[in-house]
Amino acid sequence: MNVRDQMAVRERAKRFWDGLSSVQRGELGDALVLGTLDWTEWLDREPPAGFWRAVDDLRILWEMETSG
């Protein structure tokens, strides 16, 4: 995957993350951390490679901001 594709995936992940409520972010974060993520519960079609990693990066930043 080239840099432009990676940037596009990260932007898509950010739009997805920004559209979630705090409760949804917590639920998704739990699924990411516990390894129980089923993408079909969150999206209509399978996301490109790197999407969930980008979402997880955003989750980590969000948790750092909200925890204090």
Any residues with CB less than 8 A from the CB of 51 and at least 6 apart, and which? 9, 12, 13, 16
Phi, psi of 20 (to 5 degrees): -90, 150
Read off the pLDDT of residues 34-68 as tens digits, 9 standing for 90 and up.
Answer: 999 999 999 999 999 899 999 999 999 999 998 86
Q: Are 48 and 11 in contact (CB under 8 A)?
A: no
pTM over 0.85, yes/no: yes
**pLDDT at 49 (0 to 100):** 86
